[in-house]
C-alpha cells in the first residue's frame, strides 16, 4: 500500500454544477437502501444513459442511437441501452470496484459521496442523506430553488475535509472555512482590507498542509509585501512544491497547469456554489459576499478549519447532517440592492464590446465550447444567459430600462436564474413594457409547459396596468410546437409572444434599432414564425 503524502486539492470536473450532481443523484433514488452489487450498478448506469447524462462513444457510431440522443423527445429502449453498454468498453479502474462500468459508476458518484449527499460501498446498502434529498428537491422545484441549493452546498463545504476518509492525503483542512477565515484576517488588516484573495494566490490554498489560517494569512501578506501582485505561474508553482515537500520527481504528478489553472478554476466554481463568495476586479479576486455576512459570521465562529474522521461512515453522518442555523439565516440585501444589479449590467455593457457579448451568447447557443472570460466562465450557463441578454439589450438600446430578476451577489453578478412568478428580464421604454424570457431548454414539453404558459400568465398580469406589453422567448432552438403555442396565445387571448433562437436574436441586435418599438417592428422578418 502506497504511503500518504501531501497533495494539491483537486475537485472532480465531471460534476461542475448543482444541476448535474442532482440529476445523477435522481438516477440512484429508485435503488436507495438496496445492496450495491455490480447488477445494481448496471441498472443505475442504464438510468444515467437513459436520461442522457452520459454519452458513450458507441452512441455516435450508430446513427439511430445518435438521432435518439439528439432528440429530447425520444428515449432509448432497455434493449438499446443494454446494447450501448455492451459495446462501450470502459477502460477504467477505481479502488474497491471492478474494472469497467463499475469503476465508471464510482467516478460519477464519488464527489456526491465526498460532499455527503450519498453513501455507497460494494455489498452494502445505498444511502442518500437528508442533504442529498434536499438537493434533489431544490433542483426539482420549478423554478429551481437557488437559495436552497446554496444552503445545501454551504452545509457540505463547511464540513468537507481535505483529508476525509475517501482521500489519501496528509493535507488536513476544511477548504471553505480556511478560505473564509483567511479572507477575514486580510479584511481586518488595514493594508489589505476589502481585497479578498488574489486569483494567483489560490494555488496556496490548494496545497496548504493544515488548517492554520493565521499562518496562511501571514504567508500571503509576506508575498504581497515582497512581490506585490505580480506572481507568475512558475513563481507560485515553485512555492506550492515547497509547501507540498515535493521534489523534482513529483513534477510529473503535480503539474503546473493543474495546480495553477485547472484546479484553481474548479476550486472557484465549487466555493461559489455556496453563494458566500463574490468575484471582484473582473474576476481577479475572490472575496466574501457581503450580503451573506451574517451567515459567514456564524460559520467562522462555529466551524473548525481542520477536522479528522476515523472512517467513511462517521464522516458521512457528520457531513450529511443539516444545521438549521445555516438554513434559517437569511440573506440581507441593502435598500438600494436592485440598483447594484442594474449598475453591474450597465458597467459590463460599457466595459465589453457588442461583438464580445454576442460572441459569449453564441457560445451558450451552440454549447460546443467554454467561455474563456474570467467572469462569465464562473457563472452557471442558465444564469449567464440572463446576464448576457441583459447586457446585450443595454448595449443596443441605451435608453432602455433593463431590469433583470436573477438573484445576485454584492457585485451585482448573478448567482442563479430568476425565480418564478415574474419575467426573467423586465424592460421598459416610453409606453412599452417588454418581458424577456430566456432558456437553454430545447425540448417541446419544456418550452411549451415551462415557458410559453408562464409567459402568457405574466403578460396577462402586466397588461392590467399597461396594455402595450409584449413578450419575447429566447432559446438555443425553438421547437415548432413552441411557435404554434405562441401563435395560439395570440389568437385565443391577444397575447403577443415572439420566439427567437439565440442566433436569430443575435442577428436582430446586430442590425440595431433605436428602441423597443423598433425591435418589435423587425419581428415579421426575423422571429421564428
Provide the CATH number for the domain around residue 313: 1.10.10.2090
Q: Are residues 431 and 510 in the same domain?
A: yes
Q: Answer whether 130's CB lies under 8 Å from 321's CB.
A: yes
pLDDT, average across residues 347-357: 95
Q: Answer whether 445's CB lies under 8 Å from 305's CB.
A: no
**Which pLDDT score is estimated for 135?**
95
Q: Are residues 519 and 417 in the same domain?
A: yes
The domain boundary, picked from 263, 287, 318, lies at 318
Type and span of the H or E element at 285:
strand 285-288
Q: Are residues 347 and 484 in the same domain?
A: yes
In whole numbers, what is the pLDDT of the chain averaged over residues?
91
Which residues, in sequence order, are bridge partners of residue 426? 403, 435
C-alpha closest to that of 410 among 340, 513, 326:
340
State how far Cα 160 lies from the chain centre: 18
Q: How many CA atoms lie within 13 A of 368 on its CB side?
A: 5
Q: Is residue 92 part of a domain?
A: yes
Res. 232: pLDDT tops 60: yes
The domain boundary, picked from 154, 175, 199, lies at 154
pLDDT, average across residues 409-426: 91
Q: Please, what is the Cα angle at 66 between 61 and 72, to 5 degrees?
A: 165
Residue 411 has φ and ψ, to the nearest 5°, of -95, -5
Cα–Cα distance, 404 to 391 (Å, whole number)? 10
Q: Is residue 214 part of a domain?
A: yes
Res. 368: pLDDT tops 80: no
Task: List, in order, residues 6 or more apart from 313 with CB less than 8 Å away.
Answer: 119
pLDDT in tens, 314-334: 999 999 989 999 989 988 888
Overall domain count for the chain: 3
Query: Residue 466's pLDDT band (boundaries 50, 70, 90)?
Result: confident
Residue 58: Cβ within 10 Å count: 16
Helices (H) and strands (E) in the chain, counts: 26, 10
Q: Is residue 11 part of a domain?
A: no
Q: Are residues 395 and 256 in the same domain?
A: no
pLDDT in tens, 129-161: 999 999 999 998 877 888 999 999 999 999 999
pLDDT, average across residues 247-263: 93
Query: Residue 419's pLDDT band (boundaries 50, 70, 90)?
Result: confident
Show the cell assigned to 173. 483542512
- pTM recorded for the entire structure: 0.91
Q: Are residues 121 and 187 in the same domain?
A: no
Q: Are residues 234 and 185 in the same domain?
A: yes
Q: Is residue 4 part of a domain?
A: no
Q: Answer whether 83's CB lies under 8 Å from 136's CB.
A: no
Q: Is residue 183 part of a domain?
A: yes
Show the cell assigned to 440. 437553454
Q: Are residues 444 and 490 in the same domain?
A: yes
Q: Please, what is the Cα angle at 48 between 450 and 15, to 5 degrees?
A: 80
Q: Is residue 8 part of a domain?
A: no
pLDDT, average across residues 230-252: 94
Largest CA distance in the chain: 74
Show the cell assigned to 303. 466551524
The CA–CA distances, whole Å, from 312 to 9, 18, 385 equal 19, 23, 39
Range of the domain at 414: 337-526
Res. 529: pLDDT tops 60: no
C-alpha closest to that of 438 among 396, 469, 398, 392:
392
Query: Residue 525's pLDDT band (boundaries 50, 70, 90)?
Result: very low
Q: Answer whether 211's CB lies under 8 Å from 181's CB.
A: no
Q: Are residues 223 and 136 in the same domain?
A: no
Q: Is residue 34 part of a domain?
A: yes
Residue 480 has φ and ψ, to the nearest 5°, of -55, -40
Q: Please, what is the Cα angle at 355 between 351 and 360, to 5 degrees?
A: 85
Q: Are residues 161 and 64 in the same domain?
A: no
Q: Are residues 342 and 309 in the same domain?
A: no
Task: List, in order, residues 6 or more apart from 484 with CB less than 8 Å away.
Answer: none
The domain boundary, picked from 125, 154, 183, lies at 154
Q: Is residue 3 part of a domain?
A: no
Residue 459: Cβ within 10 Å count: 21
Angle between helices 381-396 and 354-366 in degrees, nearest 10:
150
Length of the chain: 529
Q: Are residues 119 and 247 in the same domain?
A: no
The CA–CA distances, whole Å, from 242 to 208, 223, 261, 360 equal 10, 14, 18, 39
Amino acid at each position: 500500500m502506497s504511503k500518504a503524502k501531501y497533495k494539491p486539492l483537486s475537485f472532480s470536473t465531471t460534476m461542475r454544477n448543482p444541476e448535474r450532481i442532482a440529476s445523477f443523484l435522481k438516477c440512484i433514488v429508485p435503488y436507495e437502501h438496496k445492496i450495491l452489487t455490480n447488477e445494481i450498478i448496471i441498472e443505475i448506469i442504464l438510468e444515467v444513459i437513459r436520461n442522457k447524462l452520459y454519452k458513450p462513444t458507441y452512441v455516435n457510431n450508430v446513427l439511430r442511437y445518435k438521432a435518439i440522443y439528439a432528440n429530447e423527445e425520444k428515449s432509448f429502449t432497455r434493449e438499446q441501452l443494454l446494447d450501448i453498454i455492451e459495446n462501450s468498453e470502459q477502460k477504467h479502474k477505481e479502488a474497491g470496484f471492478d474494472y469497467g462500468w463499475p469503476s465508471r459508476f464510482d467516478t460519477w458518484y464519488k464527489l456526491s459521496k465526498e460532499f455527503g449527499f450519498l453513501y455507497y460501498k460494494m455489498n452494502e446498502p445505498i444511502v442518500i442523506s437528508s442533504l442529498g434529498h434536499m438537493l434533489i428537491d431544490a433542483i426539482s422545484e420549478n423554478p429551481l430553488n437557488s437559495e436552497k441549493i446554496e444552503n445545501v452546498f454551504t452545509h457540505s463545504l463547511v464540513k468537507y475535509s481535505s483529508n476525509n476518509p475517501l482521500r489519501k492525503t496528509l493535507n488536513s483542512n476544511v477548504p471553505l472555512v480556511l478560505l473564509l477565515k483567511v479572507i477575514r484576517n486580510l479584511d481586518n488588516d488595514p493594508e489589505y482590507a476589502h481585497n479578498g484573495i488574489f486569483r494567483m494566490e489560490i494555488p496556496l490554498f490548494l496545497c496548504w498542509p493544515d488548517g492554520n489560517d493565521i499562518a496562511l494569512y501571514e504567508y500571503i501578506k509576506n508575498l504581497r509585501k515582497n512581490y506585490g501582485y505580480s506572481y507568475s505561474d512558475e513563481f507560485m508553482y515553485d512555492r506550492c512544491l515547497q509547501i507540498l515537500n515535493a521534489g523534482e520527481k513529483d513534477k510529473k504528478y503535480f503539474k503546473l497547469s493543474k495546480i495553477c489553472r485547472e484546479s484553481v478554476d474548479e476550486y472557484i466554481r465549487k466555493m461559489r456554489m455556496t453563494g458566500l463568495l463574490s468575484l471582484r476586479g473582473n474576476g481577479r479576486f475572490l472575496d466574501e459576499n457581503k450580503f451573506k455576512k451574517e451567515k459567514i459570521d456564524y460559520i467562522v465562529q462555529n466551524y473548525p478549519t481542520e477536522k479528522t474522521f476515523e472512517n467513511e461512515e462517521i464522516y458521512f453522518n457528520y457531513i450529511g447532517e443539516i444545521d438549521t442555523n445555516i438554513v434559517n439565516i437569511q440573506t440581507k440585501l441593502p435598500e438600494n440592492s436592485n440598483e447594484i444589479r442594474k449598475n453591474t449590467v450597465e458597467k459590463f455593457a460599457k466595459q465589453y464590446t457588442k461583438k464580445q457579448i454576442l460572441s459569449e451568447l453564441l457560445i451558450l447557443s451552440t454549447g460546443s465550447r467554454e467561455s474563456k472570460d474570467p467572469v462569465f466562465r464562473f457563472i452557471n450557463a442558465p444564469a449567464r444567459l440572463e446576464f448576457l441578454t441583459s447586457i446585450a439589450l443595454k448595449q443596443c438600446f441605451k435608453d432602455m430600462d433593463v431590469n433583470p430578476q436573477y438573484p445576485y451577489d454584492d457585485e451585482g453578478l448573478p448567482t442563479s436564474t430568476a425565480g418564478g412568478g415574474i419575467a426573467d428580464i423586465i424592460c421598459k421604454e416610453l409606453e412599452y413594457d417588454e418581458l424577456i424570457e430566456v432558456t437553454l431548454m430545447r425540448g417541446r414539453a419544456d418550452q411549451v409547459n415551462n415557458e410559453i404558459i408562464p409567459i402568457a400568465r405574466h403578460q396577462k398580469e402586466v397588461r392590467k396596468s399597461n396594455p402595450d406589453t409584449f413578450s419575447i422567448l429566447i432559446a438555443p432552438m425553438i421547437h415548432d410546437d413552441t411557435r404554434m403555442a405562441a401563435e395560439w396565445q395570440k389568437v385565443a387571448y391577444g397575447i403577443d409572444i415572439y420566439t427567437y433562437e439565440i442566433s436569430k436574436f443575435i442577428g436582430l441586435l446586430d442590425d440595431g434599432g433605436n428602441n423597443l418599438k423598433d425591435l418589435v417592428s423587425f419581428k415579421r422578418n426575423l422571429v421564428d414564425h
